[in-house]
Structure 1
Amino acid sequence: MTTNISECINAVMKCSHNLPITALVKSSYFRLDELFARKGSEALAQLQVGAEFSQTLMKAIEFNSKHMNTMNVYQFDRSRTNFTFEELVAVPGSRQQNYQVLLDERKCDCGYFQALHIPCRHVLAACFHARLDWKRFVHPVYRLESVFNVYRSEFRPIGHEDD
């Protein structure tokens, strides 16, 4: 995590080496302004075409759904919230072959569902099996309205130092 943070800071400070503090702050401010304007425009464009989630999330869902047909699903309750999965084909990165999903508790043994708050392949398979909408198991922060609200704020131009 420390490496990721330092890489992010290095990316923000790129082209700002050896600048005085005032110029460094000003450079960072303008770069963030540019980022917010660009990301806000992208989110607005996706909202205007009717997208509910970001393209990145939809790619992750598509990737996770590719493995749904490689497992047996066992439903353990009438309320359609408790499932066990037996994977028939080894999936790269998997530690085990049997997983339990508790939809009402938003838990899966793989840990992906709890960590990222988006449906893993097991949750997608459970939703498909129980005829539930997987979208209700996506955290609201991934909705485009939430993303757009982050970038809704606008930066004010920096006035002259004498003002």
Structure 2
Amino acid sequence: MLTASTMDAAGTILPLAYAVVDSENDASWKWLFEQFKQAYGERPSMFVVSDRNESMLKATSIVYPGMPHYSCMWHIWTNIRSKFKKGHLQLHELYFATARSYTLDKFNERMSKIEEVDPRVKSYLYDIGYHRWSRVHATVNRTWTMASNIAESLNAITKNARELPIFDLLEYMRTLLERWTNEKLLKVRASTNHIHNVLDGVKRYIVCLENKKCCCGHFQLEELPCVHALAALRHRNETHENYCSPYYTRESLLHTYEIPVNPLPDESKWNVPQHILDEVVNPPTGDKRQPGRPQKERYKTYDEIKSKKYKVSCGNYGGEEHNKRSYKNAPKKK
């Protein structure tokens, strides 16, 4: 079964098309995209993100010539891990930060750090094409769609259903999409002009638009309409702008920085009052200075110490949870 999905404005999976085919080949993908184009047409800023499937690349180039086809940044990372065997811990953070960079300066800075860790990785990413995996090099706005994980999530949900006969599989998909669509449309019943009961599945939420409150807590704490408040506003055919805190407006953001930080003139130009010049400032009195180098970084928490970033390994044996000094057995033979 072939699927095509996207994300809605809330960042959840929105299946667009699915088809049962004999196999995942050039003809199957071409047929799917032909049906897709007939249903959805061709729109500005359309693009495809995949795991670099060759059949899909061919199909989109034929049915949607000129439409950008990007690579899933997670699949590229798994290829990097399998091809290059060093620096995975450093490269992991650097690579994903590079792919998500919003400016060329940040992208180039992080690529230089990748080159310092392993120059082969930089060459590999260059050969793929920066425009295929980098947000800042993309020819259209990729927003947050940097990976094909929504397709993987849909595949995981339908994994067992794919073993069913075709009729049962199609019925499963129909009821699945029907249930998802109904879950997105919350049921609203007005109690008064400002108080509404909102049914979210089997749970009931009470929204008071006049006091900007919902029993889920999000509305009053974040001072932004929650999903239940938005459903009530949609029921009243009313916009949400009047129910958002002024804190989130552009004017409030600009007010934050309206007080200037005044520059200081050269020290020779300072006009310091005499009583300030006459003041004697004694050194701080405190406990005796502790031996050793002063602590500059904060102490790590237990979770940070136990994380992969702070793993302790043994120089003799290579194992974890101990070091060379505390290892009691004989060194590992080379």
Q: Which has the higher contact order (CA 8 A, sep 6+)?
A: 1
Structure with bigger helix share is: 1
